[in-house]
Structure 1
Amino acid sequence: MASYAALAVQTREFLVIVMWAGQFVGELLNWIIKRIIKQERPIYSVGTGYGFPSSHSQYMAYFTSFLFCHLYFRHRFSSTGYAVIDTLWRITVYCGLLAWTGLVAYSRYYLGYHNAYQIFWGLGIGATFGALLYLLSTAIPTWYPNSILGRFKIALITHPIFTWMQVRDGWAVWADGGRDEEWKRWRRKWEKTQERRLKTNKVY
């Protein structure tokens, strides 16, 4: 959550803000489901409260599914110039996300906080919610900009409050969200600064 906050403040990216908000909604959804189902944790669990579904599993599955969809459908990684290396890097990132989620989910079982049933349901709910939120907030508005969701997103980003907050949708302009362009702009400024310093040192 701290990383979400830092990214939201630093980048003002619509995608990051939506993903962060979705994480909060997922936590609320988990809280509601637990109090509706009221399923106990495993007999020897060291945890407290209801066990269905696993909060950690749901949390990580949401994070991974939303980010996985974004990386696959919208984000374009910087190319090394070698197609094989680029493909391997993408696969590594995807596998890393899945492994991270898998390890968190397994830790819930290994430490006795949840049984397999509660963990799998947590993973399923989180993954479904993450993919659905991405579809509604990003994919459909991008693929069908004249749809209701597309027009709603444009209305949000162009709203005076969002404009004042400098919220942007970098991936609507750049394939990598603007990272490469920002780095080039920084590099040009940095090189000019170095040139001025060298000139100043020569004068003295």
Structure 2
Amino acid sequence: MPLSSLELTHVLYDDSSHLSLAMALITLSPILLMASYAALAIFWREITVINMWAGQFCCEALNLVIKRLLKQGRPPGSVGNGYGFPSSHSQYMGYFATFLILHFHFRHKISTNGYWMTDKTLRTSVYSIIVTWAVTVAYSRYYLSYHSISQILWGVCIGISFGGSFYVVAELLPTRRPNSLLGRARTLLLRNPVFMWLRIRDGWAVWPDGGLEEEWQRWDREWRGRTKARLHLN
């Protein structure tokens, strides 16, 4: 029986090079995002996370359609199989970085320590980490000889375009214009009995940080109360 390799988890690299090993691990890192989406969606129940996850699947479907339509092969000497245009890893990370940065910019407020410069530095650092991760994953596809530069650049551009468009439609317009068709649809979803039973919420509609600080303060009050009671009994 002929066997096939699962491309998502099978990476060829030069085992004599530490850099090649690092690139192989980095090129596999996007797989972690799907597990992260699932964990956050199940335990946090945020509609924004669910939307981002759904958009990631749609972006992958778009990549598959484009590859089947254009049927462009991989560059000479490539170690990969199947069509190469556009690079799915690059498109994947382009979408992820774009959606997440737009969310941080428009909706998520990072907790402040009271100093403008520190807050600005923290936000810039978060953006830089996200972009650096996306760029490194894209570069790893070229370094490991899976894609040409043009296939990677097109993948990144398509991912950015799709991520930006999807964020505007799924998040920005519904929240900025709640009386619009998209805004009303989002409200109806959140009020839907099934969504309410699943406890799906829009934390950023109530708290600027999605409720992280509120939840921490509630835990802190409860923990301090129990600690004081326990110490008093002792």
Fold match, TM over 0.5? yes
Q: Which ranges in structure 1 are unaligned for 5 or more consecutive residues?
A: none
Q: Distance in 1 between matches of 2:70 and 2:167?
A: 27
Q: Structure 1-normalised TM-score? A: 0.97
Cα deviations across residues 98-135 of structure 1 (Å, max 9, x unaligned)?
Answer: 11111111111111100011101100111111111110
* Deviation, structure 1 residue 24: 1.0
Out of 130, 134, 140, the position equivalent to 1:107 is: 140
RMSD of aligned C-alpha atoms?
Answer: 0.7
Give the match for residue 121 of structure 1. 154
Which residue is 1:152 aligned to? 185
- Structure 1 position 71 matched with structure 2 position 109: no
Percent identity, please: 55
TM-score (norm 2): 0.85
Cα deviation 1:16-68 (Å, max 9, x = unaligned): 00101111111111111111110000110111110000010000000000001
Alignment map for 1:2-81 (pairs within 5 Å): 2-81=35-114
Match of 2:229 among 193, 196, 203: 196
Q: Which runs of 4+ in 1 moved over 3 A?
A: none
Distance 2:36 2:171 in 1: 21
Q: Number of residue pairs matched?
A: 201
SS of residue paired to 1:140: helix
Give the partner amino acid of 2:192. Answer: H
AA at the equivalent of 1:172:
A
Q: Give the whole-Å Cα distance in 2 for the aligned partners of 1:64 and 1:200.
A: 51
Unaligned runs of 5+ in 2: 1-33
Asked if 1:185 is matched to 2:218, the reply is yes
